[in-house]
Amino acid sequence: MLLNQFLLLAAALFCIGVYGVLARKNGMLVLMSVELILNAVNINLVAFGALTDDVGGAVFALFTIAVAAAEVGIGLAIVLLMYRNRRSIDLSQADMLKG
Amino acid sequence: MSALLAAASTDSDLYVAQNIFFGVIATTMIWAAIRVVTTSNVVHAALWLVLVLGGVAVQFLFLGAEFVAVTQVLIYIGAVIVLFLFGVMLTRASMGDDETVAGEKRLMAAVTGVLLFAVMAVALIDSFEDVRVVIDEPQSTALVSDSIFSQYIVPFEAVSVLLLAALIGAIVVARRD
């Protein structure tokens, strides 16, 4: 199979994730878009690992999955705290530091 | 799985069956990913995300990374999605209220995404024009674990500490006091 078909799929997922992060206001949906981006990176890591016949790609994909789990935990805690404080998780309203 | 991959690679270099399945799954994944970022219902977005994550697991299987595929299903579909659904439940006021995005912001985000994809696609097609990835047999889990616990032991320990820190941090941040 061509390497490029995996890389292009990952690039498409990455760009859809970037669109989600930029366009969405809901904190939960921004976190889901970040998951899309991380998964695109994982596909790339495993694809290059398969290309070079090296197990390092899979190992670092596993590390990325662990980091993503930690990120979701912290991210959800922040979103919950924001909801508790202002009864809304609209990120465009979180602009108290804006000059 | 390994017999299947071996038979396919000796018969021909075209991998017809794999390519058809790849096309079907990739199309489904991209459609589901677009639904994740466009649907206004947060629960539906989480369920579309399941489809994308499952598709990513199948791509890992195509690439012969069995253990990563199983971990993907366990951690993402099993744990992360449940976490998301709990988050949606606890912030219930936000159910399906994401239609307030300004048209201009959405347009600029779409332009950014499309431009980024164009740049990436040109660079990828230019660099890896017809590089083929040959998967004779799946990477064995023993090989992966040997590698983690010898060559990559330091990053592994760092990730362990990071997970612990994230766990404690999440409790501290979300705690009612």
Asked if B72 reaches chain A (Cβ–Cβ under 8 Å), the answer is: yes
Residue B13 has what pLDDT? 63
Q: What is the count of structural domains for chain A?
A: 1
Residue B145: CA count within 13 A, CB half-sphere: 6
Which residue carries 């890389």 as its tokens?
A7
pLDDT digits (tens, 9 = 90+) for A37-86: 999 999 999 999 999 888 999 999 999 999 999 999 999 999 988 888 88
Asked if B159 reaches chain A (Cβ–Cβ under 8 Å), the answer is: yes
For range B14-42, the mean pLDDT: 90
Print the domain residue range for A67: 8-88
Q: Does residue A98 lie within any of the structural domains?
A: no
Asked if the Cβ–Cβ distance from B65 to A26 is below 8 Å, we say: no
pLDDT digits (tens, 9 = 90+) for B110-152: 999 999 999 999 999 999 888 888 887 888 889 999 999 999 9
What is the model's pTM? Answer: 0.88
The predicted complex's ipTM stands at 0.91
Residue B159: Cβ within 10 Å count: 20
Q: Does residue A2 lie within any of the structural domains?
A: no
Best CA proximity match to B80, nearest among B54, B118, B61, B112: B54
Q: Does residue A97 lie within any of the structural domains?
A: no
pLDDT digits (tens, 9 = 90+) for B35-89: 999 988 889 999 999 999 999 999 999 999 999 999 999 999 999 999 999 888 8
Q: Considering CB atoms only, which of B53, B124, B165 is closest to A8?
A: B124
Asked if B47 reaches chain A (Cβ–Cβ under 8 Å), the answer is: no
Residue B132 has what pLDDT? 87
Q: Does residue A74 lie within any of the structural domains?
A: yes
Asked if the Cβ–Cβ distance from A72 to B84 is below 8 Å, we say: yes
Q: Does residue A13 lie within any of the structural domains?
A: yes
Q: Does residue A45 lie within any of the structural domains?
A: yes
CA distance B120 to B116: 6
Q: Does residue A95 lie within any of the structural domains?
A: no
CA–CA min distance B130, chain A (Å) = 6
pLDDT band of residue B100 (cuts 50, 70, 90) is low
